Structure 1
């Protein structure tokens, strides 16, 4: 494995008012890794990612990206040009066409307009979307919008990619294409931080899985290492065992009972 360090978090803590969201996160990420970053809702996943992206300040601890310390008053944000990001919920500018949006995004990352437009059109063609390149985003379906977001995150050929539920709204064929794209990017030395609740996708796509619970890293390793430690089969079962969640069957049974009650009386 490549031992070139891309990202380092040292004892990172974060509070929002009285609530402690991160409790001393320590993490080192290396070039070419696909990290599956998982945890229950409220575990601190999005907060960690937003801190690394420079979107949240006020944390304690030390974060280095590409060997440079970031954030907390450090004015140098040049590292952001080497980062791509697909947020879980993104506000696209609906009155722009895909061409305008992608060209604008490319320019923000340092491409010239002509280069950004040409590259965006080529990438849209690969997703079979060239026919809507000049149409407004307001007319796009959820899956089409998601593909535009993925293109916008990759247009400038970033070294580090943060993906938060990137497959949302995509059909099965598109999911296969995106998985293969991520594999090939990692093979070229790109580092990918992949956050999702869809465990079987994380299991298949990641070469390292990090589980965050209550703002702490509670598991970190390959899928097979986590299997050995917990003696469980799937990532979903490992996740449930480590987080202590075993109520899903009871909750489901109760839910279905309530749903069925009306019919029983009817």
Structure 2
């Protein structure tokens, strides 16, 4: 049962530096339970670093993160149990078969073997992977790899899914399948926070969005509040600094040969 008074995710004053570079600079986020929440920003804005800290893959230098009211700093294991994570760059054990990978994900989360096998079969059917489970993940296409990893992130029925670019390099059919499954998950009380460069998708599926530029949240709220009278893409370009200066490229229009 989802407690509407307790946000699925709360981030307060979170900061992270790498050497002299401040990747995330005092970010605040509140993600209500049972929502699609979009995190958008230009390359290098701090989205992946933020999601990695939420997922417990990176330790923040300062600030607090809580998942369904569980403080991730003092109770990291309890917080991680509530989450499923699709990380950046799809790092996985790709020498395993799809079936072995899902089994590993399930037992690692403390599920009984019989439960893992049953859920793996259900997820494989839903993600249209049943015929591929016996093959090594290294033989999968980018879309198939993303689907099997998302299935692994969902196998323990987490409260919160933390997804870094879940639709990147995914064909339209696979994208539609993933979106349908995630929509049903949210409709039944689950929460998704995802990063994406696809403004149309974020505008279509997310109820709330945060725009991150240079490690700071420049706008946050409902999609309608953030975009105002503009499209989300237009508002994003406005916040991120507008269009690049193309002066000085006149030579490009002369065409050699």
Alignment TM-score, normalising by the size of structure 2:
0.91
Aligned to 1:84: 84
* Structure 1 equivalent of residue 137 of structure 2: 137
- Please list every run of 5 or more consecutive structure 1 residues that lacks an aligned counterpart in the other structure: none
Structure-2 residue corresponding to 1:7: 9
**Which moved further from structure 2: 172-181 or 212-221?**
172-181
Residues 125, 68 of structure 1: alpha-carbon distance in 2 compared, 3 angstrom cutoff: closer
Tell me how far apart the structure 2 counterparts of residues 210 and 204 of structure 1 sit (CA, whole Å): 15
CA contact (8 A) 1:43 1:212 kept: yes
Map 1:1-266 to 2 at 5 A.
Answer: 2-71=4-73, 74=74, 76-228=76-228, 231-232=229-230, 234-247=231-244, 250=246, 254=249, 258=252, 261=254, 264-266=255-257
| Aligned-residue offset at 1:192 | 0.7
Moved more, 120-129 or 92-101: 120-129
Contact 2:164 2:194 in 1 (8 A): yes
1:52 Cα deviation after fit: 1.3
Contact 1:121 1:133 in 2 (8 A): no
Equivalent pairs counted in the alignment come to 255
Q: Report deviation, 1:254.
A: 4.1
| TM-score normalised by structure 1 residue count | 0.88
Moved more, 94-103 or 128-137: 128-137
Q: Return 5+ residue gaps in structure 2 as ranges.
A: none
Distance 1:223 1:98, change over 3 A: same
Distance 1:139 1:76 in 2: 34
Q: d(CA) in 2 for partners of 1:23 and 1:138?
A: 37
Q: CA deviation at 1:122?
A: 2.2
Shift of the 40–76 alpha-carbon distance from structure 1 to 2, 3 Å rule, reads closer
Task: Quote the Cα distance in structure 1 between the aligned partners of 2:185 and 2:103.
Answer: 22
1:128 deviation in Å? Answer: 2.6
Q: Is 1:81–1:110's contact at 8 Å kept on the other side of the alignment?
A: no
- In the alignment, the residues of structure 2 paired with residue 97 and residue 13 of structure 1 have an alpha-carbon distance, to the nearest angstrom, of 38
Q: Which has the larger radius of gyration?
A: 1
1:113 Cα deviation from its structure 2 partner:
2.1
CA distance in 2, matches of 1:10, 1:68: 14
Q: Distance in 2 between matches of 1:244 and 1:104?
A: 44
CA distance in 2, matches of 1:172, 1:265: 37
C-alpha contact 2:129 2:148 (8 A) present in aligned 1 = no
Residue 15 of structure 1 aligns to a residue whose secondary structure is strand
Structure 2 residue matching 1:135: 3-state secondary structure: coil
Give deviations 1:79-135, integer Å, cap 9, x for gaps: 212201111312222221111111001111121222212211222122332122111
Deviations 1:186-221 (A, max 9, x none): 111111101011111111110001111121111012
